[in-house]
Chains A and B, each alone.
Chain A
């Protein structure tokens, strides 16, 4: 199949339930945001979809996949240029030595241009900035033209301008090439213009639908299990999770806040 179907998926890590009965679909050409605060289980869900993590129950059906991980640690001395990593996206699983090929080189060049990475294509990837690495990783994931693209917090390292650039790029790829995109973020705001649907994770469960259907006080209060306010200002959405009365320490979950540096 192309796209993605997740059905009643439950995942436990170290004996602790992380996800409970999560179900949703991403059709080809659909752009879906996977939203949740730190520790909500976004990475866990993506890794389970990839098959890196076995589910406790439920099923995942998907087509060919491209993946942009949340963080990858790269040594600054690693002798791999940005264009080498993109080329490995094309045929990294093949056996034998790569033969010089003009068409291969052209495809790598086109992909680098598509993510606006030509300027640093010949730098070592370990010496690129976080945002530059992000672009190269997106090119690496996309060059094989997968039917499903999974991105784990690709905007976390980017300034507002670059984030908008990447979102526009992803939106275009999604429409023009009919790729199904599932992208995780703890701030939904940069994605509001392109998201068709949202999968909102909290407390191990997911609320699924359009932004207007899901990001509402009553729906999210139900999901979190206590009162949640949704405030819309200047076309942005702020979700305020009130600390439960019995909690000693107040929790801050405002998704409008900039992501904490990691």
Chain B
């Protein structure tokens, strides 16, 4: 029994500073992704959300190249892409999809260039892996403080825009008839999405941030029929998966030969498992 506890909480888990940072930043990213993700799913913008994350990797890799905080790189690129997509395709769904595709292509081309330069001109050999798949246990304390600001801004944005955004996400015409500026609400949402994506990009990585955004939200929609409640459920699922994932990854140093398995793998697997469980439970 105590051996099991020892295995679950491998030596030093509760006292390690990188683990603390990982729990705080990763947990915060999960909560915000869950809340924002419910809007993403309701609005049918999973593709835009994923594209934003992919594009933000160009900013992340540029940040490595320039030696600035990666969160700023992710955020700058995601913000620009979000504003671009909203500006091009506000009106028509189809237009939005095409706009997303075009922006995505351009963004990934930049990411390819910057990652190539990262790997050839600097000593940061792990940049590509870090940008794409995150490095939860190597988050600098400075990034943690920045993440708190970014996360706070995202939550404030959601709280401020909650009702107009919800109504516009249900039906744009209903919202417009109530005097909601639907375009403005969409832009606000896109910026909040950019904040959320930047945050999860530094934790689980740009590519896997979609899993954190869409998975818990999609599961929550099956479990709750109320909007606010769905957001809380999504946040809780994301948080649980992230913390448990961090624990399992930390423990995996013990039971794998070598360096353990990546945190992102565990988190995304847990999110997937939760979704399957919820689907089975309801079917």
Contact = CB atoms under 8 A, between A and B. Distances in A.
Interface residues of A, number: 35
Interface stretch (A65-73, A223-231, A236-244): A65-73
Contacts of B159: 96-97
B177 A88 contact: no
Nearest to B167: A92
A89 B167 CA distance: 9
B164 interface: yes
Contacts of A67: 173-174, 177
B167 A79 contact: no
- Among B167, B170, B224, max chain A CB count under 10 A is at B170
A165 B145 CA distance: 60
Interface string B153-166: 00000011111101
Given A79-B220, A81-B225, A98-B163, A92 B175 contact: yes
Interface string A100-142: 0000000000000000000000111100000000000100110
A79 B177 contact: no
B258 to A, nearest CB: 43
A218 interface: no
B183 interface: no
| Majority secondary structure of chain A interface residues (helix, strand, loop or mixed) | loop
Contact of A79 (B171, B175, B227): B227
A88 B220 contact: no
Nearest to B233: A79
A94 B171 contact: no
Contact of B164 (A73, A81, A93, A125): A93
Contact of B163 (A78, A91, A123): A91
B178 interface: yes
Contacts of A69: 171, 173-174
B177 A50 contact: yes
Given A95-B163, A96-B160, A98-B163, A50 B176 contact: yes
B227 A95 contact: no
Nearest to B217: A79
A75 B174 CA distance: 15
A85 interface: yes
A85 B169 CA distance: 12
A61 to B, nearest CB: 17
A79 B179 CA distance: 23
A52 B159 CA distance: 27
Contacts of A141: 177
Nearest to A89: B178
B163 A93 contact: yes
A34 to B, nearest CB: 17
B170 A79 contact: no
Interface in B211-258: 220-222, 224-227, 229-230
A93 B170 contact: no
B176 A88 contact: no
Interface string B24-61: 00000000000000100010100000000000000000
Given A84-B226, A96-B160, A124-B225, 6 more contacts: A66-B177, A74-B171, A81-B226, A95-B160, A96-B162, A137-B174
11 contacts: A52-B176, A80-B166, A85-B170, A93-B163, A93-B164, A95-B160, A96-B162, A97-B159, A122-B225, A124-B225, A141-B177
